Amino acid sequence: MNMYSFLAMPDWLTGNAKTIAIAALAVVALVAIIVGAVKGFTRLNWGALVWGGACALFCLLELKFHDKNPILKMGAISGLNEGVRDFAAACSYALVSIFAALVLYGLLTLIFRPRKQKAGIRKIDEDEEEEDIDEDEEYERTENGGRSICLFNRICGAVVSLANAALVLVGIACLALVIVNVTPLRTGALQSVYESSFMEKGWSYIQKYTLDFVFIAIIAAIGYGGFRSGFIGGFRSVFLVVGYIAAIVVGFWLPFSKIAAEKEWLSFVGQLSGFLEKFIVKALPGSVAAVLGKIGCGLVLCVGLCVIVALLGLILRLIERGVRHTGVLRFVDGVLSTVVMLVLGVLVCALIVAILYILEYFGIFESSKLFDSASPLTKGLYSVFDEYLAPLFEKIKGKVN
């Protein structure tokens, strides 16, 4: 079968496409209802609802209060280009919306997912890794180990699961429509879809908000990851990686540095190098012994510094466990981590849009067709790049030419 025949689609499939689509949606809805009823509201993943709530709040704030955003009155923002100011306002509303949705999720988690265990349930081993425990599990169990889920819990679970599935399907469909719009399928096999009455009414909204909502999903997912890991846990992971690398570098660098010779409080470095050199010089020439003495000193320092890093990591681990076993502290710790990770999420989205911008700037792919000129976040980032990235590219092109 050639590509044209594939894209044209058989007549029977074209004629029954609506029936097939309805049947597929019915199957998905049925599966979602069953899964939700089995798991119950308290054990169900609420991710899609968090995303949907954040998107809804973002649209409300952006449509009703864009010009009233307090950030526009800040001195550092008010003097910027109009497009950059618009992006700053939209981005701040997006972060507020995501943060509010995640905070609400955290509060609901504290209320509906308490950690309770009754008689007959094995206590968690203190040596067991906390990360292996699913925070979304319902910990209230009966004495025989079975899960106790009431009928109302199951009904709510079915409704929420159906809403989750609907949001995910709508999101996937909108993203597919936006992507297909820049392919030959737009004027080929799927032309009838884009020319339907529904698309005529809703296409402007789909093109305007789809990529923005995708970026909100990315930022929210990264922020949620920060909430789950916690600020202390995330800081501990970064600290250990950076700490061990720094311990190795500093440990071997100090014996050869001028700082160790000049600073009195580092005199022990020279003394240790000299002590090791006295043993080595008996078997090797003096010049070689001096170098090996410093290397040996560096090895000792490296081991000592790594032990210090490990001890500090252990202290952080104990603090992290203490925080995780206290609901309020766990929530506060998660909120602090969420704030940091939200900023990281914005940077990740900016990087993605930067790649799209570069592809269009150099004529490789017209990525601006993926969104509407009124898209608050995506178009706003393009305005930022027009202001700050394009002049840099012009300078590079000028030097190359």
SS3 369: helix
pLDDT digits (tens, 9 = 90+) for 336-360: 888 888 888 999 999 999 999 999 9
How far is 42 from 148, CA to CA, in rounded Å?
11
Q: How far apart are the first and last CA of the chain?
A: 48
Q: 63-112 pLDDT, tens per residue?
A: 999 888 889 888 788 888 888 999 999 999 999 999 899 888 878 887 87
CB-CB contact of 230 with 337 (8 Å): yes
Lowest-confidence range among 31-45, 58-72, 104-118? 104-118
b (16+ CB within 10 A) / e for 197-230: eeeeeebeebbbbbbbbbbbbbbbbbbbebbbbb
pLDDT value, residue 97: 94
Lookup: tokens for 388: 């700050």
| Whether 261 contacts 270, CB under 8 Å | yes
Mean pLDDT of the chain: 80
Q: Concatenate the DSSP letters of all residues of 18-35 into one string.
A: HHHHHHHHHHHHHHHHHH
30 phi and psi, to 5 degrees?
Answer: -65, -45
CB neighbours of 351 closer than 8 A, spacing ≥ 6?
none
Contacts of 188 (CB under 8 A, 6+ apart): 7
Q: Is 147 helix (H, G, I), strand (E, B) or coil?
A: strand
- The closest alpha carbon to 237, from 305, 309, 303, 302, belongs to 309
**pLDDT tier at 286 (50, 70, 90 boundaries)?**
low
Please list, in sequence order, all residues whose beta carbon lies within 8 angstroms of the beta carbon of residue 297, skipping any fewer than 6 positions away: 254, 255, 269, 272, 273, 276
Residue 168: which H helix or E strand, with range? helix 151-180
Pick from 193, 113, 124: nearest CA to 153: 113
Residue in the structure block whose two tokens are 């992971």: 237
**CA pair distance 288, 231, nearest whole angstrom:** 48
Whether residue 311 has pLDDT greater than 80:
yes
**Distance, CA of 240 to CA of 382 (rounded, Å):** 37
- Tell whether the model's pLDDT for residue 115 goes beyond 90: no
Query: In the predicted model, is pLDDT for residue 183 greater than 80?
Result: yes
The token duo for 134 is 């699913």
C-alpha distances (whole Å) from 211 to each of 170, 325, 342, 361, 376 are: 13, 39, 17, 19, 10
Euclidean distance between CA atoms 216 and 54, whole angstroms: 8
Instruction: Categorize the per-residue pLDDT at 147 as very low, low, confident or very high, splitting at 50, 70 and 90.
Output: low
Closest CA to 46 of 56, 36, 33: 36
What confidence tier does 310 reach under pLDDT thresholds 50, 70, 90? very high
Q: Residue 172 — very low, low, confident or very high, per pLDDT cuts 50/70/90?
A: very high
Please report which confidence band the pLDDT of residue 123 belongs to, taking 50, 70 and 90 as the band edges.
Answer: very low
In this model, does residue 161 exceed pLDDT 80? yes
Q: Residue 265 in contact with residue 331, Cβ under 8 Å?
A: no
Under DSSP, the state recorded for 281 is T
Find where tokens 């501990």 sit: 236
| Residue 64: HSE in the Cβ half-sphere, 13 Å Cα cutoff | 6
Look up residue 234 and give its amino acid.
G
Task: Tell me the sheet residues that pair with 147.
Answer: 141
Phi-psi region of 10 (alpha: psi -120 to 50; beta: other; left: phi over 0): beta
Average pLDDT score over residue span 7-29 = 68
* Stated pTM of the model: 0.72
